[in-house]
Structure 1
């Protein structure tokens, strides 16, 4: 079994779309949290810039993350999200733990 996969995704709602983006990501979070390989899917809005969103995600292993990427709900979510955000897609940053767990 591989190590857990941890990452955060960032994106910015276009002007006037933050409430729609929040509703969309809130619904999608429920779907992702039910995936067998998901450990955490936490959604935040930036205090200093409320149109900015950050999603912290953790998956049991690479297979769990791969299954998440291949799942149909993710494709549907991204198709709805893309026209509502400034960036061409979410910016992903993969993380590695420091020190003992």
Structure 2
């Protein structure tokens, strides 16, 4: 039986690859792929549609190696940071 955490990690990888496989390098998110992922998967947490430069800002913050793309490690940092930021909200709504 697969643990809940194992399933969560599989889901995280699967979501990443759903978007990273749309164009170019299959193991990295281009700016467009990142925008699609953020708008479709995290729109409740990020105000990406109201600020046209927000995708560029997020990309600049995530793209640690400055290659113009976001790899899985850089993406995982975003998910972990959002999880920490939303920790209290998640705890309150679990009960």
- TM-score of the aligned structures, taking structure 1 as reference length: 0.30
Q: TM-score normalised to the size of structure 2?
A: 0.31
